């Protein structure tokens, strides 16, 4: 698992996780990168929107508030990583490995 979040300097991240956009904005970005729902536009029983993309499954909390992070499960690194890299570079998002705390930042 990895987490997508806004690319911020950890030294200036006092206010918690900054927003990466509304659910509609995030979905529009992901839709342009061949990542979307299976046709179901409502959250699952846990309140998450589940999206599928090349080699990955993404979960976004769909509670009506802004999106602050996206949980990503890669099922095929060879397909998922190039897409994630491109999206993160375009949107100034970062990938976080929650197990190690390591962040992968991408410059434009």
- Residue given tokens 């970062």 in the structure block: 94
- Kindly report the length of the chain: 108
Measure the CA–CA gap between 59 and 68, rounded to whole angstroms.
12
Residue 107 above 80 pLDDT?
no
Task: Convert the pLDDT of each residue in 43-93 to its tens digit.
Answer: 887 889 999 999 999 999 999 899 999 999 999 999 999 999 999 999 989
Task: Convert the pLDDT of each residue in 4-28 to its tens digit.
Answer: 888 766 555 556 678 999 999 999 9
Measure the CA–CA gap between 93 and 6, rounded to whole angstroms.
4
Measure the CA–CA gap between 108 and 99, rounded to whole angstroms.
26
pTM for this model (two decimals): 0.85
């Amino acid at each position: 698992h990895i987490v997508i979040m806004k690319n911020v300097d950890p030294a200036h991240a006092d206010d918690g996780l900054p927003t990466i956009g509304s659910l509609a904005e995030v979905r529009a970005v992901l839709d342009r990168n061949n990542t979307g729902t299976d046709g179901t536009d409502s959250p699952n029983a846990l309140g998450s929107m589940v999206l599928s993309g090349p080699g990955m499954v993404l979960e976004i909390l769909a509670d009506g508030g802004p999106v602050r992070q996206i949980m990503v499960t890669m099922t095929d690194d060879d397909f998922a990583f190039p897409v994630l890299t491109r999206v993160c570079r375009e949107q100034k998002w970062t990938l976080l490995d929650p197990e190690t705390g390591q962040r992968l930042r991408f410059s434009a």
